[in-house]
Every structure is written in structure tokens, then in C-alpha cells.
């Protein structure tokens, strides 16, 4: 049953403001009814109430299908293996993984023994031997700036960008489906022209294209992380576009970090430790005394904006904020909910839904970077499931 915050609050004995606050924090979802009122699923609110009042709920698990599909994947920019593992868990089969970073290559080699991993600059890889062998080509390509100079850019005019290498791989291999992944900010990059160029190039290569922003916290990931997913389907195939459907629950850090193995992690210098120790769970710099706010924030104190990532301690009862490449950056602090320290390596991995036995290699900073840059494994699983369903419809 969908009700407004006012009516839902009256029925459940909580304030409408509390419901709106949960919505703003991303703990529950709201939709618009036919009269454009914001409404909420009352059962979803009940489940959150139960969890926040100590109910024995734990939805954290790494999702994996029992059966393998027959479908094959080429993946570019494989990184530390988030999408790769998610796709494998869904039942897809990689015939090629490409990655240039040495630590990432070692991570992939250790965790995918026997896999065809090509440790070379993508610009130097010839994909023509794989023509018509891969059902899917997937890439989490870095978003580089495009220079427009007032003209419409086609396939031959995007050389020098890593998106071009993704497009070249599609052109050389002719997959049924291509999948691109990027940050939500790509929607508005250069007033949307960058994304439109990408869509135009994929259409020029013979594909129909749709894209959606997926919210990880509603897809079995204990993290508020949004990703833009672009799906391109070859025009000669009658395949429906299918994107993951959001769940009616989120997973808190309490659920995700239960019995998490101990591991290495960054540490705060004494001065920063003394500041973060004063911050309550879910709090940030505004919870400090005024004089300490000014001292810690420096010139940022007088700038506009909430700056809510600064001196930020995470909350046990919510999904994590988006993980970055390091847990102790001043603008995007990721302090443990209870202990005064940054999240450690295995906690980072848990939040990205990597299994505890996933072996990251390299320095501590390299491991943080591999995890922070990854697509959450469970998000990759849900996307992979949709791709299998799409291909099954042929």
C-alpha cells in the first residue's frame, strides 16, 4: 500500500518528518502518484522500523546463481574484478579480460586462475580474432573529455579517448549486446553532449541504445553508490532492454560488517584522531564545537555547501556512503561507525560485496584503489542476470 508520509506516519505511529528523513537518507524509496504526491510503500517502512529497533535482520550476502549460462563476455578495464565476479556469479563466461594496471592484473590472475587475461594497453589489443565469439562486450571506461569544436562526432572522430577503444572492440567483435558503465556525472558532462556522442557512436555501429542510473543500495549493496549503465543491442536482433529492478530494502553497515575479518588499514594522525573521536555515529564536522569546526575546516568553513563528507563518521544503521579510492580523504571521510579509524581493507571489500577470500594484491593504497574503483559485485550480478534474461529471449 502506497501512502503519503503524513498518512503512513499516522498509521505507523511515527512522524511524517521521520519518514521524509529516511527517504532523504536513501533508506526507503518514494514514488509519485497520479496527483504527483510523494508516496511510500508502508510495508517497506515497517521493515525499516523493525531493523532500526533491533530486529534480527541480515540481508547481506554475495549473490550467486547455481547454474552457468552459455553466454560469453569480453571485458575491458577489468580493474580489481567487481563486474567480472558479478557477471561470473550470474552465470556468464569470460573469454577475455583486459587490464593494464599491474596490481589489478595480479589480483585478476590470482582470483581467476586459468582465465584469458590480456595484461596490455587496450589500445594495442587486436580484438578481430574474437569476432562473433562474444555475446557481450562490457567496459567501465574512464570518462575523458571530448573536444567538440562545433561538429557532430562520429566513430572516427573519437580517437584518443578510452571510449573509442570500447567502441573499436564492439566494431571488431560484433557482440549481440554491449554494456558501458560510468559515474552518474556522465549524464551532465558537457551539458549532456558527451553522453549523446557516445550514444550516437553506438548507433552508428548498428546498435539501439538505452541507459539508466542504478542505485546500488536498492540492489543488495550496503552502499549509496550510483552508476550509469548504458546497454546497446544490435539492431538486427529482437532483444528487449531489461534493467535491474530495485528491491524494497537496504542493507546497513551493521549487517555488512558482521564478523568481518581483521585486516590492514590506514590510520589517522593524532590530531585528526582527536577530532574524529568527537564525532558521533552518522555525524560530521557540524557536530564539533564551533571553534574546532573552524580549526579543522580552515578556509572550507566559510564556503557554501554542506560539505557533509568532511570529518564524517558512518552510521551502523545505514548503508555506507560511496567508497572512494582512499578512506581518509578530507573531503570524503569514511570513518568506522564506532572505532576511531578509517575503514580497513576487508571492510572496504565487504561494502563492495567482494567475498572475504578475494585476494587483492599490491600496496595498501593500491588495494584501497582497486576496491574503491570497482563496480560492486552484487550490482554486477544483477546486471549480469538481466543480460542473461535478454539473451534468453532471442
pLDDT per residue as tens digits for the range 3-14? 999 999 999 999
What average pLDDT does the segment 28-50 reach? 92
161 pLDDT above the threshold of 50:
yes
Nearest one of 227, 193, 234, 188 to 211, comparing CA atoms: 227
Q: d(Cα 100, Cα 70) in Å, to the nearest integer?
A: 28
144 backbone dihedrals φ, ψ, rounded to 5°:
-100, 150
Largest CA distance in the chain: 66
> Which of 186-195, 206-215, 269-278 shows the lowest per-residue confidence on average (mean pLDDT)?
186-195
CATH topology of domain 2-52: Multidrug-efflux Transporter Regulator; Chain: A; Domain 2 (1.10.1660)
Cell 596490481, residue located: 103
Whether 75 and 96 have beta carbons less than 8 Å apart is answered as yes
For residue 101, the number of C-alpha atoms closer than 13 Å in the C-beta half-sphere is 19
- In whole angstroms, give the CA distance from residue 111 to residue 105: 10
| pLDDT tens, position by position, 234-271 | 999 999 999 999 999 999 999 999 999 999 999 999 99
Domain at 254-373, CATH class: alpha beta
End-to-end CA distance of the chain: give it in Å, rounded.
Answer: 36
Per DSSP, the three-state class of 77 is coil
Residue 84 pLDDT > 50: yes
- Residue 105: per-residue pLDDT: 98
pLDDT (tens digit per residue) in 131-140? 999 999 999 9
Catalytic residues: 143
Question: Under CATH, what is the fold of the domain 72-250+375-392?
Answer: Rossmann fold (3.40.50)
pTM for the structure as a whole:
0.93
Domain ranges across the chain: 2-52, 72-250+375-392, 254-373
Mean pLDDT is lowest, of 155-159, 204-208, 289-293, 331-335, for 155-159
What are 72's strand-pairing partners? 93
Model pLDDT, residue 52: 87
Distance CA 302, CA 188 (A): 27
Amino acid at each position: 500500500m502506497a501512502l503519503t508520509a503524513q498518512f503512513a506516519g499516522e498509521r505507523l505511529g511515527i512522524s511524517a518528518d521521520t519518514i521524509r528523513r529516511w527517504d532523504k537518507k536513501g533508506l526507503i524509496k518514494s514514488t509519485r502518484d497520479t496527483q504527483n504526491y510523494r508516496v511510500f510503500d508502508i510495508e517497506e517502512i515497517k521493515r525499516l522500523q523493525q531493523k532500526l529497533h533491533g530486529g534480527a535482520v541480515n540481508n547481506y550476502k554475495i549473490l550467486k546463481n547455481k547454474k552457468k549460462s552459455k553466454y560469453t563476455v569480453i571485458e575491458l578495464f577489468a580493474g580489481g574484478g567487481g563486474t567480472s565476479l558479478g557477471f561470473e556469479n550470474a552465470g556468464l563466461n569470460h573469454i577475455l579480460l583486459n587490464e593494464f594496471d599491474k596490481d589489478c592484473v595480479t589480483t585478476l590472475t590470482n582470483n581467476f586462475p586459468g582465465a584469458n587475461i590480456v595484461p596490455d594497453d587496450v589500445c594495442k589489443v587486436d580484438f578481430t580474432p574474437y569476432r562473433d565469439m562474444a555475446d557481450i562486450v562490457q567496459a567501465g571506461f574512464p570518462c575523458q573529455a571530448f573536444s567538440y569544436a562545433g561538429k557532430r562526432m562520429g566513430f572516427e572522430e573519437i580517437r584518443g579517448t578510452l571510449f573509442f577503444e570500447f567502441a573499436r572492440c564492439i566494431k571488431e567483435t560484433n557482440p549481440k549486446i554491449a554494456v558501458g558503465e560510468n559515474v552518474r556525472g556522465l549524464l551532465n558532462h558537457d551539458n549532456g553532449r558527451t553522453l549523446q556522442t557516445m550514444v550516437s557512436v553506438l548507433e552508428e555501429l548498428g546498435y539501439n541504445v538505452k541507459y539508466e542510473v542504478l542505485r546500488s543500495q536498492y540492489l543488495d549493496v550496503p552502499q549509496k553508490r550510483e552508476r550509469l549503465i548504458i546497454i546497446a543491442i544490435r539492431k538486427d536482433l529482437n532483444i528487449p532492454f531489461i534493467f535491474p529492478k530495485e528491491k524494497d530494502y537496504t542493507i546497513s553497515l551493521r549487517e555488512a560488517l558482521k564478523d568481518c575479518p581483521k585486516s590492514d588499514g590506514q590510520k589517522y594522525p593524532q590530531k585528526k584522531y582527536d577530532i574524529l573521536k568527537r564525532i558521533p555515529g552518522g555525524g560530521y564536522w557540524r557536530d564539533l564545537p564551533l571553534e574546532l569546526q573552524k580549526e579543522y575546516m580552515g578556509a572550507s568553513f566559510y564556503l557554501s555547501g554542506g560539505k557533509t563528507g568532511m570529518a564524517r563518521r558512518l552510521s551502523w544503521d545505514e548503508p555506507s556512503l560511496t567508497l572512494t579510492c582512499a578512506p581518509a580523504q578530507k573531503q570524503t571521510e569514511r570513518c568506522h561507525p564506532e572505532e576511531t579509524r578509517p575503514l580497513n581493507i576487508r571492510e572496504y571489500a565487504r561494502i563492495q560485496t567482494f567475498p572475504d577470500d578475494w585476494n587483492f594484491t599490491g600496496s595498501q593504497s593500491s588495494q584501497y584503489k582497486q576496491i574503491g574503483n570497482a563496480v560492486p559485485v552484487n550490482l554486477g550480478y544483477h546486471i549480469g542476470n538481466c543480460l542473461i534474461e535478454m539473451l534468453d529471449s532471442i
